Structure 1
């Protein structure tokens, strides 16, 4: 197969450190051909820095000028939908930063168009590419936990409101920690459990810290412009009868100063703690804890990009968060926000 030509839409940090950096690790397979940003000087600077042949001020201009195989979408969440749709209409395989978009109907339209065009549409939920998740997935698929009936999902920061970007702008971002952090652990948990069918959700959100304070571990922000939740908690009920509890925060007065990203699942035969790499079960009537030795650290982002490249080259076994899974995650996020806003349980 000839070298894949990639265009990057959005010239921010994630484009530079994840997409461009990792595509360029595989020069025999991928050429980063173009970069787009609505600020032309920014696009030109990135193009010059990474020896990218072309830069444009709009994705439309890029697609009019070039025939590309891959488009990476690295814009604020609000603009994922329009750029994914444009890339698919121009017959590109698409690798979009999480989340799929702002609304579930957007994710569904992107899913349907990817099928119509017979193109790969993947989302960068890179936590499922960790060696920890890989180990736990094998353990769960072997039946070590039995039937899952309860789960705890945490994506928590004590005082980790990003002081850069648009993370506190609800219009551009769609929300706060749920749509930024929580989605990663939701994807990991759903992937581990085999994406069970969701029945309903109930959620509660709070803005108690970000709108009054202005400094944390990730920089300073303007509390007058803080428009998103800084904490959300909720319950997710599944058709199989299981229930999961979700907690996610940018700012919450917990003990831990470091970010907590964890999934705990509990079944009829055992339980697991992803962060601690432990399985709790029994053998011959005796309680048994199985702790996996620390695995060699791997770059989750590189593995995510590498698997997307492989899928584009025809490897059906490569691991991606595909368009169908992205849609399910977007439906879940939208339902959690709707429940928190209305105070009602939302049926899916």
Structure 2
């Protein structure tokens, strides 16, 4: 079987820190063929660092040389770049979030359907071993019907002070688009993307506007940031289940938190760290796994799934249709929020 020819579009931190190293570890199945970035110096630096032979001068040039692309650009460009690749007969792994609007998500889904090519979105939290274990238990009916889902994706004073994370015109949003979307998507996936009845949300843009910033992740201009640094939501599903959601880059809390818990009719699951809470035989029991199967590196597991899906050996774990549902809820949170 011939190796999959992979192109990298956008050579910033996520490409060089996660995606390219993951492909390097799969040399038997994937060949890093070409890179493209509007900043040609950045593209050449990435090519030199990872021994990639070709630096494309245009996206069109790259598409002619590859079987698949990994899109690592600002969010606003996701839809058009994915559509162009799919129409050229090229598979796509696109970084999260899928796009900055539901309409753009629909464009991407339609392009994938018409092309017959793979369109996968980079929600790599689905590939954590804890996530896989939780999915197996939920699918087996271990905790009964999910009733209340709790999600917290919180960082204490860690607004990204690099790149374009605080630029709404390029990213479409702040902590919700960048960080909270991961655990929101994971919660929805674990509970099989139940039909949504109601979304009530609120975003906040106040903490990061303080001119006397204390921030662990670099420096940003509080006068120029125009995205939310905190968001909350209450999501009610048609089944009656509810999801309590909170995310922040800059919360005034004791320490960072990543919480995803699901309380069901027969038991409960804590995903990070993984444990199962039950009440059986007159006892309250919490069990923890001594060992979890799977790849420790979720980014590598995601890349393996994408490559093998393109080669026809697996099915994508993150489908475009599912990712669009996550984007629909993100959009609903923004739409329901009042100015703050």
Please give the alpha-carbon distance, in whole angstroms, between the structure 1 residues aligned to 2:193 and 2:292: 25
Query: 1:307 and 2:310 equivalent?
Result: no
User: How far does residue 294 in structure 1 lie from its aligned partner after superposition?
Assistant: 5.8
The residue correspondences of 1:55-204 to structure 2 (distance < 5 A) are: 55-63=55-63, 66-204=64-202
Contact 2:130 2:273 in 1 (8 A): no
Please give the alpha-carbon distance, in whole angstroms, between the structure 2 residues aligned to 1:278 and 1:11: 38
Please give the alpha-carbon distance, in whole angstroms, between the structure 2 residues aligned to 1:341 and 1:71: 38
Contact 1:43 1:57 in 2 (8 A): no
Which range moves more in the overlay, 333-342 or 200-209? Answer: 333-342
Contact 1:266 1:272 in 2 (8 A): yes
TM-score (normalizing by structure 2): 0.95
Which residue number in structure 2 is paired with residue 207 of structure 1?
205
| Aligned-residue RMSD, C-alpha | 1.6
Distance 1:237 1:342, change over 3 A: farther
How many residues are paired up?
338
The residue correspondences of 1:6-45 to structure 2 (distance < 5 A) are: 6-45=6-45
Please give the alpha-carbon distance, in whole angstroms, between the structure 2 residues aligned to 1:23 and 1:252: 35
User: How far does residue 295 in structure 1 lie from its aligned partner after superposition?
Assistant: 4.4
Please give the alpha-carbon distance, in whole angstroms, between the structure 2 residues aligned to 1:81 and 1:126: 19
Query: 1:265 and 2:254 equivalent?
Result: no
Contact 1:214 1:222 in 2 (8 A): no
SS at structure 1 position matched to 2:290: coil
Which residue number in structure 1 is paired with residue 252 of structure 2?
253
Please give the alpha-carbon distance, in whole angstroms, between the structure 1 residues aligned to 2:38 and 2:338: 33
Distance 1:27 1:316, change over 3 A: closer
Which residue number in structure 2 is paired with residue 239 of structure 1?
238
Contact 2:203 2:337 in 1 (8 A): yes
Please give the alpha-carbon distance, in whole angstroms, between the structure 2 residues aligned to 1:61 and 1:316: 29
Query: 1:340 and 2:340 equivalent?
Result: no
SS at structure 2 position matched to 1:146: coil
Structure 1 alignment gaps of length 5 or more: 344-348
Query: 1:216 and 2:215 equivalent?
Result: yes
SS at structure 1 position matched to 2:100: coil
Contact 1:152 1:263 in 2 (8 A): yes
User: How far does residue 86 in structure 1 lie from its aligned partner after superposition?
Assistant: 0.9
Please give the alpha-carbon distance, in whole angstroms, between the structure 2 residues aligned to 1:129 and 1:148: 21
User: How far does residue 249 in structure 1 lie from its aligned partner after superposition?
Assistant: 0.2
Contact 1:123 1:320 in 2 (8 A): no
SS at structure 2 position matched to 1:165: coil
Structure 2 alignment gaps of length 5 or more: none
